A and B are shown apart, each in its own frame.
Chain A
Amino acid sequence: MKLRFLAAVLAAGVSFSFGPASAAELEVTHWWTSGGEAAAVAELAKAFDATGNKWVDGAIAGSGGTARPIMVSRITGGDPMGATQFNHGRQAEELVQSGLMRDLTDIATKEGWKDIVKPSSLLDSCTIDGKIYCAPVNIHSWQWLWLSNAAFKTAGVDVPKNWDEFVAAAPALEKAGIVPLAVGGQPWQSAGAFDVLMVAIAGKDVFNKVFGDKDAETAAGPEITKVFKAADDARKMAKGSNVQDWNQATNLVITGKAGGQIMGDWAQGEFQLAGQKAGTDYTCLPGLGVNEIISTGGDAFYFPLLKDEEKSKAQEVLASTLLNPTTQVAFNLKKGSLPVRGDVDLAAANDCMKKGLEILAKGNVIQGTDQLLSADSQKQKEDLFSEFFANASMTPEDAQKRFVDIIASAD
């Protein structure tokens, strides 16, 4: 009697695992959940659904730091999704090396990704041992300063044209009850802001030496000391921005409660969603108006190795849909990012995006820190800068010493 019951329970358990197996449903996980991002990802879903397959949205709230662990543990735990977002570079490196990800080289050669993806460093970041493992979808650059024209009007000063003018305008902003620089409490934001200051103040070569070659000597040098001085200014200006998420910080700029924010071009989607116009309502300064250089990190989709043949076919369709010119334009306009192919028409782009495209065309680009550093080193950097920005008693000199240690042990 008991045994029969047990058998029945077991049988029921087994039969549950045969879910409804519709041919071409692909679950796609990503962490695009803010207003502008959700609008952009809907474009991808629309394009994929049009091919006769079905996009099952697996959005994970709480930015990459929360989402990536969930994605990784699903892949390593044997419950892979159809496709997943990562920042291409080194985040998925080990997953690829242990053979959990799908090789996309065939599709890439068939569709000639090598010729259409610009800059080519994007595809290089997808390439491990000569094989291509991801489909880049956009270029995101960190090096932007977003300024609220209304805030500067209230304070009675001109909208700054570069970082130094911005620092000089800070006391006037404070007097008007406006926080000069909005920095959210999430650790990656302060770490990112430092990287941006480094490119703007110390320049491209120093940036590449420190993060590319992991040269501890340069990291200890006078150029980086200057960067830490600037970061010290930044943290003083950021005092009083009691928000956590990046889009809350952007919102402070949109509503004129903060003067500006150092944030990647994904912030643009938020300005757009709020109905603001570049140039009249807000101003953007690439490279903080000092050094017009942008990094070419970005988002890419990786495809876990699946056993189901029909789903594997759908993965191919999705990969080619993502790089389709029409999808690229629709997606990137909503997202505020730059397309990965140089041959698409972006006449509808706004002022800021056009500035970005121009810099891209000139070739003033660097690799993003996600491409250069391992997740481990990035995390240590985040710990350092979130402490530095929150703790006024930590001197720039101490911080630089710890920064040198991190670079020296970076891999």
Chain B
Amino acid sequence: MTGQANAGRPNQLLRNLNSKIASIPMILTAVVIFFGGTLWTVFYSFTNSKLLPRLSFVGFDQYERLWAAPRWVISIQNLAVYGIFSLIFSLVIGFVLAALMDQKIRFENTFRTIFLYPFALSFIVTGLVWQWILNPEFGVQSVVRSLGWTSFSFDPLYNSDIVIYGILIAALWQGTGLVMCLMLAGLRGIDEDIWKAARVDGIPMWKTYLLIIIPMMRPVFITTLVIIASGIVRVYDLVVAQTSGGPGIASEVPAKYVYDYMFQAQNLGQGFAASTMMLITVAIIIVPWAYLEFGGRKRG
């Protein structure tokens, strides 16, 4: 306010001075901590830093070692499988649940609470719960066997080939509730008149959803996509709680590789190289999309 009182004519720099001053800390945080930290990490990934960062450059050695390590390759494969399925299933299940919820059913509030409840639990708790459920000795397998089906076998967490799906189940259980809520909010934002018009035209309901409602919900889908995708890349605690990477190294993920090599192996250079690779992966996906999404709109 003082800014406006002093200035005789409107000064671009001094307009909304209060809010500009107020946002300085946030801007500094973003620049110094996020951007600066990222650059620092990439920079030191070219050194052979061990426990403490030090400046002795080794070129791309850390990256060569990284891509030669079977554990890293398995981590990337796991992330791809987990990412694709988690994206598809949480969107589909979330949307279907939301569409069902939108049919003016009774006790909607109750159902909504039930579906959203798992989201209130941390990944660590989710992981432990599902570790017990999927444990062959006291989980699903033992329950079914005690019902008389003695040859029944279901132990995803102890089978290297399918362990990542065991983790996926837990992640979906935890995350779809939120997707459902976001979708439901989107559906509620659609004007009643659109539904009425579609009904007058005699368009079947599934077609209305697929061809009219979903395209109208584009912004909601994009928000949801960003939330799910960021959850996928940083998946770590769920794996630690459920399998700690096992059996063997069958359920390792990139974030866990970064942590283990930075702190347990006391090899910062290797950990930094791995996290830089994670950053590049994300950038490859995000940058073209962001360019199309935001860059395009400004021009158009």
Contacts and interface: CB of A to CB of B under 8 A. Distances in A.
Contacts of A311: none
A402 B265 CA distance: 18
Given A72-B51, A379-B265, A244 B270 contact: no
Contact of A72 (B71, B158, B266): B266
Interface stretch (A46-54, A260-268, A387-395): A387-395
Given A242-B136, A244-B244, A391 B250 contact: yes
B158 A242 contact: yes
23 contacts: A68-B263, A69-B262, A186-B244, A242-B135, A242-B136, A242-B137, A242-B158, A374-B266, A375-B51, A376-B261, A376-B266, A376-B267, A376-B270, A379-B267, A380-B265, A383-B71, A383-B249, A386-B248, A390-B246, A390-B247, A390-B250, A391-B160, A402-B70
Contact of B264 (A69, A95, A185): A69
Interface in B40-94: 50-52, 65, 69-71
B237 interface: no
B264 A387 contact: no
Given A69-B259, A376-B261, A376-B266, 10 more contacts: A69-B263, A73-B263, A244-B246, A374-B50, A375-B265, A375-B266, A383-B249, A386-B245, A386-B248, A390-B247
B246 A386 contact: yes
Interface of B: 50-52, 65, 69-71, 135-137, 158, 160, 244-250, 259-267, 270
Contacts of A98: 52
Given A94-B51, A94-B52, A386-B249, A185 B244 contact: yes
Nearest to A185: B246
Instruction: Give chain A's interface secondary structure class.
Output: helix
A88 to B, nearest CB: 15
Which 5 pairs between the two chains have the least Cβ-Cβ distance? A390-B248, A69-B263, A379-B265, A390-B247, A94-B51
A381 B248 CA distance: 12
A215 to B, nearest CB: 21
Interface string A360-379: 00000000000000111011
A185 B267 CA distance: 23
Interface in A87-134: 91, 93-95, 98
A279 interface: no
A242 B260 CA distance: 23
A156 interface: no
Residue of B50, B51, B250, B260 with most chain A CB atoms under a 10 A cut-off? B51
Nearest to A64: B264
B244 A376 contact: no
Nearest to A394: B248
A244 B261 CA distance: 21
A324 interface: no
A383 B257 CA distance: 10
A57 to B, nearest CB: 23
Contacts of B51: 72, 76, 93-95, 375
A122 to B, nearest CB: 22
Nearest to B65: A409
B158 A94 contact: no
Given A388-B248, A390-B160, A390-B247, A94 B50 contact: yes
Nearest to B53: A76
Contacts of A374: 50, 266
Count chain B CB atoms within 10 A of each CB in A65, A94, A95, A390 and give the residue with the most.
A390
Contact of B70 (A72, A187, A244, A387): A387
B264 A65 contact: yes
Given A72-B51, A76-B52, A379 B264 contact: yes
Most buried by B among A91, A93, A380: A380
